[in-house]
Amino acid sequence: MATLPKIIKTKATVQQTMSVEIVDEYGDRHTKEIACEHPLTVYLNWVEVVTLMTLGERPSALVLGYLKNQGFINDLSAIESVMIDWQTNAAVVITHENTENLAQQLEKKTVTSGCGQGTMYGNVMKKLEGITLPQPQIKQSMLYGLLEALTHHNETYKAAGAVHGCAVCKGTEILSFVEDVGRHNAVDTLAGEMWLQQQTGEDKVFYTTGRLTSEMVIKVAQMGIPVLLSRSGATQMGYDLAKKLGITMIARAKGLRFQIYNGSDNIELDVKGNVSEGKQG
């Protein structure tokens, strides 16, 4: 059992949505909610690493998940404290050990397709070579039950739009759902939560409203989750990595529709008769 870091939060807070006045196509004025973006600059042992634009829903988990997924920290016990201060828009992570290779890692940056601000540092791809994922069998009926349950967990999107949602699920149960202005933030937050709670991913399904890009596949593999489900589509590199890593990739999943891009042998098509209704329209 790893020793958990001390989480320090100042009294300053941020709002996730705000009301603005808009004018529609008829010239009528309305009050609408819009999603907020807050810069959060991450410091590791007082060295600036990155500035994330986020809703600010679960900043501690976001920061830890980001640092873990980028390979900056691999051992939870190595972290002494995490401080979040929205007054200065800063997150400071202090470790028990020196991060001697930090400057070298920061130089090896690859900009990804993560809504314009995704990045991958260091030798993340090399670390994937040691990952072996299980091949769980999943029923079509379970997927439908999960997709139905997920429709009740996107409150910020319903109120304001302009956000992505991600979830860690087990069967039809949604263990945790996160919304943020970027899907990369949402997946990092869930990775951080799983890390803090010391959960494993072999019996989980990861859901996202965003595209299944290489960045998304890499992070889900790092979480040890073998099944990736999305309402959106897949990219070429995301598809290639899913095949290489053995991730069951299901895209365009909404209502009764879905498309299996990889791992079709792991899906039991146990729903008969009414599936054709989902093909209408």
Given a cut of 70, whether residue 118 has pLDDT beyond it is no
- State the Cα–Cα distance between residues 181 and 164, nearest whole angstrom: 6
pLDDT tier at 99, thresholds 50, 70, 90? low
Asked whether the beta carbons of 143 and 137 are under 8 A apart, the reply is no
Q: Find the range with the poorest average confidence among 26-30, 98-102, 194-198.
A: 98-102
Strands of the chain (E only): list them: 6-9, 17-23, 29-35, 38-44, 47-54, 79-85, 90-95, 109-111, 119-121, 138-139, 164-170, 173-180, 205-208, 227-230, 248-254, 257-262, 267-268
Catalytic residue set: 115
pLDDT tier at 280, thresholds 50, 70, 90? very low
pLDDT tier at 113, thresholds 50, 70, 90? very low
Q: Cβ atoms within 10 A of the Cβ of 200, count?
A: 10
pTM of the model as a whole: 0.89
pLDDT tier at 103, thresholds 50, 70, 90? low
Mean pLDDT over all residues of the chain?
Answer: 89
* pLDDT tens column, 3-54: 889 999 998 999 999 999 999 999 999 999 999 999 999 999 999 999 999 9
* pLDDT tens column, 257-270: 999 999 999 999 99
In the chain, the domains with their CATH numbers are: 6-129 (3.10.20.10), 138-279 (3.40.140.10)
Average pLDDT over residues 242-268: 97
